[in-house]
């Protein structure tokens, strides 16, 4: 991917937080303040000076952010959680910088609740992400959305940690 | 004396065994009726043990306690052979006896009689004729007739069920049809895509369903006799939750082409579409009232899923469920007197199948021994509900009576089974 243009997008905060931003795979209940704080304060390992961000570092950070293509949701919820806004901002930035790029957003649910309601809920999740990216400047024509409901779980199983990984929207570049 | 001759028609399906459902009865009613179905007399051997099928049907209904043939003092085949004193001694209220006769053209004639042991009177006699492959149908007809005679409720043993079988990896799916006891499973569709929401036409000749393909969900109707699959809706967004109208001429379904899941009705002959709901919340899972003029559906318009009823002429919408944090996928039972639905009492509570008495407003949880109970489907006589659930880590079908007093499981020998749809009366 051509990411140099992303430098035009101001992403100093991403450079600092990006590499550590592994959050979002937790469910609503276990998404504590502690883990959120951790992802904000941890710096780029080995970074000589956080105040000076080189082109390479910024590109690396954006790259790392763009490699994250899944956002997670609370049970029966479709709002974007704050911890995923940086990730989505990075993808929006990429779409703005690369008007020829296009994505499909896949909405998914955990297995609780009815099959049909979950199909609708999965679409809502994909659409929420789509609207967010459009507000951030992406062109609507770059984004398709599709719901798979509870039919394509990321992980099999019924415990909370598994189900939290199944309540998600996946960004798929075409 | 009632004498009826029934000639059976068999629908033809392509054959492939997938799930192989078995039956495990977990709860019957305490005041069940003691009845003996004596092994039918036949000179020769038959593939299907008809009296055994009748015993299983009646026992599974929960309304009867069956005497095992080994415990019978004699095995009468006709009225003349019956010593009623013996059956009274065995504390039996009713007895069924029968004979099977070979006819020249590879047909069989089955004659059976139902007697009241106390009054020593005949309550029912039927003579039925069919080929070897129809003996199972005939056995279910006998069960239907005995059940109706003794309970006053039409039997639904002769009906079919449809369901989806999948591998644990969810990469291979098949839509199958079987007898209501799980026997004679036939696969009508295999797909690498998820098959959801099978819905029977009222004549039992078509199944509507949804395929969740790579680029979205699509609604199809499959004609069971020919296997022909017809695309009904492939609009942008969701195409799902099909439900046939009582006259079989229309389909209610959900489309999100306008940006949000809304309920539509399509006239199948003219492809004339009508939008029914208009709300920014999720509206889904429509199901027709018997009058053909109302739909019930699930809506998230108050923040969590609840059941509503819409008048298709006036557009008037009325909320039906108020108790619980999640009420969805409602189906009607007993001419619309009861709703059967997926119910969660509060956030974090288990998902159960519940009934709601619409006249009294009473909601009753029916299930407790399975997890993640969903997809309830009501037998056409309104007595039993088949549903999908997790049990010992697998997806299985289970059944519970609308009254909550009879339960059985239908574990499969292979694969996960989901999305049951109880078919209509076929005769």
What's residue A58's pLDDT?
Answer: 66
Count up the domains in chain A and report the number: 1
* A2 Cβ neighbours under 8 A, 6+ residues apart: A98
What is the CB-side half-sphere exposure of residue A35 using CA atoms within 13 A?
14
- What is the distance between the alpha carbons of residues A162 and B111, in angstroms, rounded to a whole number? 57
Decide if A160 touches B, using CB distance below 8 A: no
Q: Considering only residues 171 to 210 of chain B, which have any Cβ-Cβ distance to chain A shorter than 8 Å?
A: 194, 196-197
Whether the CB-CB separation of B263 and B295 falls below 8 Å is answered with: yes
Could you list the residue range(s) of the whole structural domain that residue A13 is in?
4-173
Give the model's pLDDT for residue A55. Answer: 66
The CA distance from A9 to A55, in Å, is: 12
Output A65 or B416, whichever has higher pLDDT.
B416
Asked if the C-beta of A159 comes within 8 angstroms of chain B's C-beta atoms, the answer is no
Q: Which of B364, B295, B365, B300 is nearest to B330 (CA)?
A: B295
Alpha-carbon torsion angle A145, A151, A153, A159, nearest 10: 130
**pLDDT tens for residues B167-197?**
988 899 999 999 999 999 999 999 999 999 9
Provide the edge-to-edge strand list for the sheet that holds A168-173: A70-72, A168-173, A103-108, A143-149
Provide the pLDDT for residue B421: 98
pLDDT exceeds cutoff 80 at A8: no
Mutate to test the interface with A, among B192, B241, B387 (most CBs of A within 10 A): B241
- Say what the pLDDT of residue B10 is: 34
A15-19, B130-134, B393-397: least confident range: A15-19
Average per-residue pLDDT for chain A: 77
What number is the ipTM of this complex?
A: 0.90
Q: Which of B168, B170, B351 sits opposite A112 (nearest CB)?
A: B351
CATH placement of domain B160-422: 2.120.10.30
**B81 secondary structure, DSSP code:** G
pLDDT tens per residue across span A9-67? 444 334 333 333 333 333 333 333 333 333 333 444 444 444 555 666 666 777 788 88
CB-based contact, B375 to chain A, within 8 Å: yes
Q: Which of A114, A119, A146 sits opposite B342 (nearest CB)?
A: A114
Q: What is the pLDDT of residues B85-119, one digit of tens each?
A: 999 999 999 999 999 999 988 999 999 999 999 99
Predicted confidence (pLDDT) at residue A78 exceeds the cutoff of 90: yes
Q: What is B30-151's CATH topology?
A: Rossmann fold (3.40.50)
Q: What is the CATH classification number for the domain harbouring A78?
A: 3.30.1330.60
Q: Does A93 touch chain B (CB under 8 A)?
A: no
Please determine, for residue A74, whether its predicted confidence score (pLDDT) is greater than 50: yes
Q: How confident is the model at residue B304 (pLDDT cuts 50, 70, 90)?
A: very high
- Average of per-residue pLDDT across A98-111: 96
Span B49-65, mean pLDDT? 95
Structural domain boundaries in chain B: 30-151, 160-422
How many Å lie between the alpha carbon of A89 and the closest alpha carbon of chain B?
23
- In this predicted structure, the answer to whether residue B67 has a pLDDT above a threshold of 80 is yes
Q: Considering only CB atoms, which chain A residues are within 8 Å of B342? A: 113-114
Looking at residue A24, its pLDDT comes to: 37
Q: Is the pLDDT of residue B254 over 90?
A: yes
Residue B171 gets which letter from DSSP? -
pTM: 0.86
């Amino acid at each position: 991917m051509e990411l140099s243009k992303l430098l035009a997008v101001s992403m100093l905060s991403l450079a600092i937080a990006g590499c550590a931003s592994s959050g979002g795979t937790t469910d609503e209940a276990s998404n504590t303040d502690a883990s959120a704080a951790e992802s904000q304060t941890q710096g780029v390992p080995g970074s000589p000076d956080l105040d000076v961000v080189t082109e390479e570092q910024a590109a690396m950070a954006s790259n790392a952010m763009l490699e994250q293509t899944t956002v997670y949701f609370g049970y029966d919820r479709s709002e974007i959680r704050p911890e995923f806004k940086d990730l989505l901002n990075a993808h929006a930035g990429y779409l703005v910088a690369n008007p020829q790029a296009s994505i499909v957003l896949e909405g998914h649910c955990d297995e609780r609740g009815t099959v049909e309601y979950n199909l609708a809920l999965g679409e809502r999740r994909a659409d929420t992400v789509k609207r967010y990216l459009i507000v951030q400047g992406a062109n609507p024509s770059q984004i398709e959305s599709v719901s798979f409901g509870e039919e394509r779980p990321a992980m099999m199983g019924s415990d909370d940690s598994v189900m939290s990984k199944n309540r998600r929207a996946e960004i798929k570049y075409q | 004396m009632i004498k009826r001759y029934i000639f059976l028609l068999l629908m033809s399906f392509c054959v492939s065994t997938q799930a192989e459902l078995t039956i495990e009865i977990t709860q019957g009613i305490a005041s069940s009726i003691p009845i003996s179905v004596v092994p039918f007399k036949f000179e020769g051997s038959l593939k299907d043990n008809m009296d055994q099928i009748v015993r299983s049907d009646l026992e599974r209904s929960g309304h009867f306690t069956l005497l095992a043939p080994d415990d019978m003092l004699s095995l009468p085949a006709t009225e003349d052979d019956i010593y009623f004193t013996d059956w009274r001694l065995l504390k039996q209220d009713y007895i069924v006896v029968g004979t099977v006769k070979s006819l020249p053209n590879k047909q069989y004639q089955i004659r059976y009689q139902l007697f009241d042991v106390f009054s020593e009177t005949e309550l029912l006699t039927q003579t039925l004729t069919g080929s070897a492959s129809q003996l199972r149908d005939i056995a279910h007809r006998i069960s239907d007739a005995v059940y109706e005679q003794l309970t006053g409720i039409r039997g639904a043993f002769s009906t079919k069920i449809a369901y989806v079988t999948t591998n644990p990896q969810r990469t291979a799916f098949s839509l199958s049809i079987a007898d209501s006891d799980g026997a004679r499973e036939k696969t009508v569709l295999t797909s690498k895509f998820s098959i959801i929401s099978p819905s029977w036409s009222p004549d039992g000749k078509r199944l509507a369903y949804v395929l969740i393909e790579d680029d979205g969900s699509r609604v199809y109707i499959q004609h069971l006799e020919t296997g022909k699959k017809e695309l009904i809706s492939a609009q942008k967004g969701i195409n799902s939750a099909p439900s046939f109208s009582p006259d079989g001429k229309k389909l209610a379904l959900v489309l999100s082409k306008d940006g949000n899941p809304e309920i539509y009705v399509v006239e199948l002959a003219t492809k004339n579409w009508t939008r029914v709901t208009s709300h920014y919340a999720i509206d889904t899972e429509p199901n027709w009232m018997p009058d053909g003029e109302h739909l019930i559906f699930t809506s998230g318009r108050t923040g969590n899923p609840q059941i509503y009823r819409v008048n298709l002429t006036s557009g008037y919408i009325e909320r039906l469920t108020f108790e619980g944090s999640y009420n969805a996928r409602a189906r009607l039972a007993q001419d619309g007197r009861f709703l059967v639905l997926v119910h969660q009492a509060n956030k974090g509570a288990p998902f159960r199948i519940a009934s709601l008495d619409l006249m009294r407003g009473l909601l009753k949880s029916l299930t407790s021994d399975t997890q993640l109970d969903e997809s309830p489907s009501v037998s056409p006589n309104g007595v039993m509900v088949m549903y999908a659930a997790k049990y010992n880590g697998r997806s299985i079908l289970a059944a519970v009576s609308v009254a909550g007093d009879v339960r059985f499981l239908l574990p499969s020998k292979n694969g996960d089974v989901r999305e049951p749809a109880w078919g209509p009366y076929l005769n």
